[in-house]
Structure 1
Amino acid sequence: MSSASLRLKPAIITNKYSISDADLESRGFHLRRTADELNLDQLNTVFVSVGFPRRDPEKIKLALDNTNSLLWIQHERTRKPVAFARATGDGVFNAIIWDVVVDPSFQGIGLGKAVMERLLDELVEQGIVNIALYSEPRVLGFYRPLGFVADPDGIRGMVYSRKNRNRNKK
Structure 2
Amino acid sequence: MLAPTPTITNKYSISDKDLKSRGFLLRRTISNLNLDHLNFVFMAVGFPKCDLKKIKLVLENTNSILWVEHKKTQKPVAFAIATEDNVFNAIIWDVVVYPSYQGIGLGKDVMEIIVQELLEKGIVNIALYLEPRVLSFYRPLGFVVDPDGIQGMVYSKKQKKK
TM-score bracket, normalised by the shorter chain, equals over 0.9
Q: Would you identify which runs of 4 or more consecutive aligned residues in structure 1 move more than 3 Å?
A: 9-14
CA distance in structure 2 between the partners assigned to 1:16 and 1:125 by the alignment: 12
**1:137 maps to amino acid:** P
The answer on 1:86 being equivalent to 2:81 is yes
CA distance in structure 2 between the partners assigned to 1:110 and 1:151 by the alignment: 25
- Structure 2 length as normaliser, TM-score? 0.92
CA distance in structure 1 between the partners assigned to 2:5 and 2:129 by the alignment: 17
8 A Cα contact 1:92 1:127, kept in partner = yes
Q: Residue 81 of structure 2 aligns to a residue in which SS?
A: strand
- Cα distance, 1:145 vs. partner? 1.2
CA distance in structure 1 between the partners assigned to 2:119 and 2:62 by the alignment: 16
Q: Any unmatched runs of 5+ in structure 1?
A: 1-8
1:150/1:101 CA distance change after superposition, 3 Å: same
Where do residues 119-138 of structure 1 align in structure 2 (5 Å cutoff)?
119-138=114-133
The answer on 1:167 being equivalent to 2:157 is no
**1:83 maps to amino acid:** A
Query: Who is 1:140 aligned against?
Result: 135
Query: Where is the strand percentage greater, Structure 1 or Structure 2?
Result: 1
Q: Residue 82 of structure 2 aligns to a residue in which SS?
A: strand
Query: Where is the helix percentage greater, Structure 1 or Structure 2?
Result: 1
The alignment-based identity, stated in percent, is: 71
Query: Who is 1:59 aligned against?
Result: 54
**1:70 maps to amino acid:** I
8 A Cα contact 1:12 1:147, kept in partner = no
Aligned length: 159
Q: Residue 131 of structure 1 aligns to a residue in which SS?
A: strand
Taking CA–CA contacts closer than 8 Å with sequence separation of 6 or more, which of the two structures ends up with the larger relative contact order? 1
CA distance in structure 2 between the partners assigned to 1:113 and 1:10 by the alignment: 22
**2:23 maps to amino acid:** G
